[in-house]
Structure 1
Amino acid sequence: MFEISIQIDRPAQTVFRYIEDIESAPAWYSAVQSVTKLTAGPAGRGTRYAFSRELGGQVLENIVQVTEFEVDALLTLLSLNGPTPFNYRFRLVPKGNKTHLHLEGSITGRGLPGAMVLLAPLASTFFERGMRANLLNLKRIVETARPAG
């Protein structure tokens, strides 16, 4: 289990729009090559996605489901299958025109293929480091985007 907190200099509504647009995750989440929505309708609790991620030079697939969804406040993603089972809980706390983004994550290396299985005990540490960089990338994208309207 790991926790990461960052401040983004944009309102929570703006930050949430980026996080809930899960199909755009490859723009800020370095290991994610593609995301395909598997269920119809807008994103919300129960929505499923196919994630294609590259880890250690290999492409790995996960089916991921939104398990918590509160507009402008909370989004939780849970992998339902595939290697490196994970649960990411994004919580947004408005601070005026800024947002405190808090990620609680858990991930294991269970299911890593081949020699990568030797890294399984260190999975949480590697993913925490990677997710910190990913969230800083998200911050940069959100803060430099032109405001809508």
Structure 2
Amino acid sequence: MPTRVEVDIQIDRPTDEVFAYLSNFENNPRWQKGMDTCTITSDGEFGVGSTYDQVAHMANRQVLSSFKVIDYQPGRRVKATTTTSSFPITFTRVVDPHEGGSRVRAIIEGDATGFFKLLSPIINVMVRRSIGADYERLKHLLENQPD
């Protein structure tokens, strides 16, 4: 059963600051619960083709994933997809100016395999709750940083 989660949240920080934080995937463990590590694996300037590995845990299982950036519009949009994972996903993060701050929209699409596919209905509920809470955590983190 495929999963699609959309998040739309206002963050009271400048768009360039929010996008810089969101597009640096090594920040993911700071605001995404269940994310253990995230390491950029490609050299050179960040953009389409950049890669990273992450280690997360879900349902008491470790999830090792490799990602590749497939769309990048500096300051506005980043999209990446798994190249290897037991929980394949594609996500898009878009940051737009909104009422003196930033509007962050995220779309996460995935389709579990193996062990996670067996638990698909339960996993879908867990993923939806977790992602919503993650973006609330991101909002709190960024809005409470010193200027």
Deviation per residue, 1:1-58 (Å, 9 max, x gap) = 2211000001110100110111121000111100111101232111100110111222
**2:44 is the alignment partner of 1:41:** yes
Q: Determine which of 84, 87, 97 is the counterpart of 2:87.
A: 84
Unaligned runs of 5+ in 1: none
Equivalent AA in structure 1 for residue 143 of structure 2 = E
Tell me the residue number matched to 2:16.
Answer: 13
Within 1, Cα distance between the matches of 2:80 and 2:40? 13
- Give the conservation status (yes or no) of the 8 Å contact 1:13–1:72: yes
**2:69 is the alignment partner of 1:66:** yes
Within 2, Cα distance between the matches of 1:124 and 1:92? 25
**2:137 is the alignment partner of 1:137:** yes
Would the alpha carbon gap of residues 106 and 124 (structure 1) be closer, same or farther in structure 2, given more than 3 Å must change? farther
- Give the conservation status (yes or no) of the 8 Å contact 2:10–2:98: no
* TM-score, length of structure 1 as denominator length: 0.89
- Give the conservation status (yes or no) of the 8 Å contact 2:48–2:69: yes
Q: Provide the aligned C-alpha RMSD in A.
A: 1.5
* TM-score, length of structure 2 as denominator length: 0.90
- Give the conservation status (yes or no) of the 8 Å contact 1:107–1:124: no
By relative contact order (CA 8 Å, sep 6+), the higher-ranking structure is 2
Look up the SS of the partner of 2:92 in the other structure: strand
Look up the SS of the partner of 1:80 in the other structure: strand
Tell me the residue number matched to 2:146.
Answer: 146
Aligned length in residues: 144
Equivalent AA in structure 1 for residue 65 of structure 2 = N
